[in-house]
Amino acid sequence: MRKFKCKVEKTYEYEIEIDETVWTEDAISNWSSVFYDADDLEDVARILAEMKTRYDSGEDIEGFGIPMIDSEEPYTFGNKKINHDINIHIIDEDDVYVDCEEI
């Protein structure tokens, strides 16, 4: 039997909108004390972008809830609340590169 080691790289590109009237400096500080280390909206966007790569549209993202996707409420199961103060515009999630070598 032949065996291959494959390295897969996928590029994600998002534009993230965050309502700064909801995500104030105090709100970010309180949120950061429970979830992830963040000092400002850019840190929150960076964390959200990383988390979005691990979750599908319509899934609850820890610390963020279910964000809007491309300005629309994503399909969800049950009575889940959508977080309208975060909107993720998906620019690209399809760029994939695979490098394989036989071992």
**What is the pLDDT, as a whole number, of residue 27?**
97
**Is 0.85 surpassed by the pTM of this model?**
no
Contact criterion met (CB below 8 Å) for 74 and 68: yes
Place of tokens 């009575």: 79
Place of tokens 């889940």: 80
Q: Per residue in 25-57, pLDDT tens?
A: 999 999 999 999 999 999 999 999 999 999 888
